[in-house]
């Protein structure tokens, strides 16, 4: 791997779905942009509430919309419109 290259362990897939994530006892809304077995990117207006290194709980609906899965995740980085997480 050369300078500037990054190889992902898992393939990302587009997965646009509303999600709820919680941090320090507060719940926030967002939308998944993409997801993989290892992590996800969350678009949210509440991006200013999270920081690199925070551990959140995220509720992700199944494609059927009838159930969801809750996962703990660590914030890897933030941008102006969202943040990336790695599932724990």
CATH number for the domain that contains residue 72: 2.40.10.220
pLDDT of 39? 94
| Closest to 34 in 3D by CA, of 53, 56, 16 | 16
Q: Confirm whether 22 is domain-assigned.
A: yes
Q: Confirm whether 67 is domain-assigned.
A: yes
Q: Confirm whether 44 is domain-assigned.
A: yes
Sign of torsion, CA 60 83 53 87? Answer: positive
- Domain that includes residue 53, residue range: 13-87
pLDDT of 8? 64
Q: Confirm whether 72 is domain-assigned.
A: yes
Structural domains of the chain, count: 1
Q: What is the mean pLDDT of residues 65-79?
A: 92
Q: What is the mean pLDDT of residues 3-15?
A: 68
pLDDT band at 63 (very low <50, low <70, confident <90, very high): confident
Q: What is the pLDDT of residues 10-55, one digit of tens each?
A: 788 888 889 999 999 999 999 999 999 999 999 999 999 999 999 9
| Closest to 55 in 3D by CA, of 24, 20, 19 | 24
With H, G, I as helix, E, B as strand and everything else as coil, classify residue 22.
strand
List all residues 6 or more positions away from 24 whose beta carbon is below 8 Å from its beta carbon: none
């Amino acid at each position: 791997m050369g300078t500037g290259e990054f190889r992902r362990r898992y393939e990302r897939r587009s997965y646009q779905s509303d999600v709820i994530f919680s941090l320090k006892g507060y719940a926030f809304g967002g939308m998944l942009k993409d997801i993989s077995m290892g992590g996800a990117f969350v678009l949210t207006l509440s991006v200013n509430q999270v920081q690199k290194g925070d551990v959140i709980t995220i509720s992700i609906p199944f494609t059927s919309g009838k159930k969801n899965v809750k996962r703990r995740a660590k914030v890897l980085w933030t941008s102006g419109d969202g943040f990336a997480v790695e599932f724990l």
